[in-house]
Chain A
Amino acid sequence: MTNYFKKQIWALAVLLIAFSCQDNGGEKPQGRYDSGVYIMNEGNLGTNDGEVYHYNPGLRALTGGIFEFENKRPFAGLLEDMVLEEGRLYLVANTGKIEIVEPGNFRSLGAVTGDLDQPRSLATARGKLFISDYGPYDPSFATPDSYIAIVDGLDGGTVKKKIPVSNKPEDLFVSGKNVFVAGSEEGKIEIIDAETEALVKTLEVSGSPVQFFEQRGDLWVYSYDDSKVYFQSFHLDNLTKKEFRELPIAQATSRIALGEDDRIYILTSSGWPDYKDGIAVVSIYDTTLIPSWKTGSGFYGIGYDQERREIYVANAKGFQGNGEVIIYQKDGKEIGKLGVGRGPSGFLFR
């Protein structure tokens, strides 16, 4: 799961560009899915039934399976991430492909289908795609050959180069020509020069880094271990570590959402065998620390709608069938429930 705020910033950028282009190209008609919420449904392992649902909060209208509906073929993959950049929506399937669609109508623009193993996330820089990939499993289910795959062009094609990185790379973030990679297994942040396509720097961080985000103009990475969560920021000019926070939130997962007033919502799970899930709320800039804002079971994804100040919590319901999304107000009051696809795991608010 990548940081949705980064995507929102991009969405804003796209919007600005769209406005500024009004005179030359004429206004692009608003697409059916250009506003509202994309709900990412990962799908069930071995079934490859990942899909995107679309929810229009104004009309309270939910549309299921929009990829298949618009493209007349199933998504046929496990949907790991959705990345909205450069006016394109990249759907990352960890079963080994990237589907690229037009965000407004969800029609296919292209794909990367060959030479990927277990892609996790994607970022665009200098007209290229950078794809984080676990690489293949070895016989003991380790991933010693993780890499960042590079594709020339924004509409897919073939992988032209693979840069080896530390095990299990997750989120990516682009600042200028630098591509930041969250190396989750070995606690590394690796930085790739998008022009030379070479690894230029490696920084060590605490915990397992999984998610980049921007807050108050700084780039941060979120990482976690069994007993704590960590936030590390970076100097973008000299690529060094800047500020560090360590907070006592136990049993955190990789899934977070950024709310208002610098609040960060973190999904927690006691895991095996009790399996109690929860949502913790923390802040980097003040003393907010609520270890159990919500508790439940089956939580699998979280998102924050900045515009309507609502929190979306996805429940995978044991992957036995379709999952569910519960919408809360900022004060925690439940205001709605949506029956979505299998294994709902994340949101993209537009």
Chain B
Amino acid sequence: MMLLVWVFFGLGISPVQDTVSLAPVEVYAPAVDRFAQGQKVISFEKRELQAYASRSIGDLLQEKSPVFVRQYGAGMLASLSFRGTSAGHTAVFWNGLPISSPSLGQSDLSVLPVAAVDQVQLQFGSAGALYGNEAIGGSLHLSSQTDFKKGFKGGFSQAFGSFGLSNSIFSGGFSSQKISLRSRLYRQFSRNDFLYQDLSLPGTPENRQDHAQVEQRGFVQDFAWNLNFSSQIKASVWYHEADREIQPVMGSKTQDQQKDASIRAVVDYFRFGKKSVLNLKTGWVRDQLIFNTSKNETSQFLLASDWDIQATKDWTFKLGARASFIEGDLSTYSATDRRIEGYQSAKWTPNSAVAWSFNLRQVFFSEKIIPFLPSFGLDWQFLEKGNQQFLLKASGGKGFKIPTLNDRFWEPGGNPDLLPEESISAELGIHWTRKGDINLESQVTYYLMQVDNWIIWMPKGSIWSPENIREVRNQGIEWEGKASWKTGAWGWKTGLSYTFSEALDQTTDSQNPRQLPYTPKHQANGTLEVSKSKVALELNSSFVGSRTIGTGESRSMNPFQVWNARLSYSNLSWGKVNFPLSFQILNLFNQDYQVLYLRAMPGRSYQINFTIQI
């Protein structure tokens, strides 16, 4: 079937007219959204990432994106929830390599520092055809971005802050026309001994958190080599380790310790044809998690190849295959898994205003077949009037998630008969941009999604075991607006977003379906930035609405809103050396809040950041 479709689209190839030569003057990276027409994709700007350099991807997404991050305390486990789906319903990639733990089936965003990556992108909606396993609610794409011909570059950045925070980042690199090398080393430490009101004790006294110290260290090495005019090799290695005292839930005196260590390596070979790019990819991810004395290790090895071709002026295709080998050596079991996937994408651009995409994927795992996964999308710029543009985005697709190793093999309780979780989603959005004295941008998206065979661990006497029991219907509206303008020497920028997200559990009570636990219906973010020459002041705020802590008629937690402020000055320099400075206040109004029930979060804190850039 897959082949047939490919042949069918292939028949449309006509003699090539234009060349889309991809000369390797830059380190090549296939665009995440190349075949994601009609889907919402958010990319963070470089300066936004710089402002979060001493924080985690979890903090960045909680404060700056419409997704909900479930934070189990300061510096503790942070998992992503897209459009009312669970933490395991998000595919996470680093340089195109899936990095979610195959045993847990999710990624902890608190151990992914912003400092280790150059690009962060979020894609919304079920996209199993494009991104494979776990892309049910959406996907997160992290990547390195390196250049050729830039000579020597280096930098050192040091942040000090409240609660014993000390974060250091060193980076150095060299690039010529032929070769590009870059190294990054970082260490992030916090005693995390913040004051909080202990609600579990009579009189709710203010106590100091004494078991939440976090230390994280790592390095990233990026390498790229132009073998000749038409081929390039790119490689990255990322080692990260985290040593954490696990912050107890209020009322408990647990003294748990967790050590995470991950090594991720990826090598890409690109061969650039006249109108095509051939990519051979191999990658390896090894995760180790030691919780107290229990040790869990997993390895994933990936081999992939795809061929991206501009067949005609109007048609672009991609054809690929991927094989993954997974090995788990967990505290209670050992298991292996193999997955083979074939996929193809087609993009049709009949004119400059319209782009259609069609994607398909077929997955085999452990002698099982995932039902054929399609997706389609449309970008249609239906109106262009003066300095204004209106773009319609429509897409639909399926997603899936293979049960994790723990779901299938955990002793006791693992259920080898679990079916993959499945989803189908559709969205419709309008994107408006206006250029002028005031630049405006507004995007509104409506989505609808159904997730079936959702896996939940249920108690079976004293043993817990997973089952495909939950069925959820999600729908929502997401709106983002941006504006930028100038008043004299002052530059202004503002961004606002609001998300309404309904995720109704059809399982517990189908007559009266309730919102899923820890899924706020309302969420909003806002940013205001004002700058004059080299001084900038930024104020941002994020609001999270009420959410229940369990299914059905459960306890509801209060909404919260947290404000941050940041002042930066980038005019200090000595010769070619720059010394940007910044000062941040987090939780400006000292809001007492919890993201998850009884998990204390810090009040107001301060950070000062010095950087040397060569």
Contact = CB atoms under 8 A, between A and B. Distances in A.
Interface string A108-152: 101101000100000000000000000000010000000000000
B551 interface: yes
Interface stretch (B125-133, B194-202, B375-383, B391-399): B194-202
A29 interface: no
Interface in A317-335: 318-322
Given A108-B202, A113-B202, A139-B293, A272 B252 contact: no
Nearest to B456: A320
Nearest to A117: B253
Interface residues of A, number: 36
A291 B334 CA distance: 40
B461 A321 contact: no
B597 A95 contact: no
Given A320-B551, A321-B553, A271 B250 contact: no
A152 to B, nearest CB: 18
A135 B570 CA distance: 57
A77 B202 CA distance: 13
Interface string B230-255: 00000000000000000001111100
Contacts of B12: none
Nearest to A48: B251
B462 A271 contact: yes
Nearest to B251: A76
Interface residues of B, number: 34
Given A48-B598, A49-B597, A320 B252 contact: no
A187 B548 CA distance: 42
B251 A97 contact: yes
Contacts of A313: none
A96 B253 contact: yes
Contacts of A318: 456, 458-459
A45 to B, nearest CB: 10
Contacts of A111: 201-202
B598 A74 contact: yes
B459 A95 contact: no
B155 interface: no
Interface in A62-108: 65, 73-77, 93, 95-97, 99, 108
B461 A47 contact: no
A339 interface: yes
The SS class assigned to the B binding surface is: loop
Interface in B192-215: 199-202, 204
Given A47-B597, A321-B508, A321-B553, A73 B204 contact: yes
B550 interface: yes
B459 A316 contact: yes
A269 interface: yes
A271 B293 CA distance: 28
B465 interface: yes
Nearest to A65: B555
Contact of A273 (B201, B459, B460, B551): B460
Interface string A261-294: 0000000011111010000000000000000000
Interface string A336-347: 000100100000
Contact of A275 (B199, B204, B461, B597): B461
Interface in B392-414: 412-413
Given A76-B251, A77-B251, 16 more contacts: A44-B550, A47-B249, A47-B550, A76-B200, A76-B250, A99-B202, A271-B462, A272-B412, A272-B465, A275-B460, A319-B459, A320-B550, A321-B548, A321-B552, A322-B550, A339-B552
24 contacts: A47-B550, A48-B249, A48-B250, A49-B555, A49-B597, A73-B199, A73-B204, A75-B251, A76-B199, A76-B598, A77-B200, A110-B202, A111-B202, A139-B292, A270-B461, A271-B463, A272-B412, A320-B458, A320-B508, A320-B517, A320-B550, A321-B551, A339-B552, A342-B554
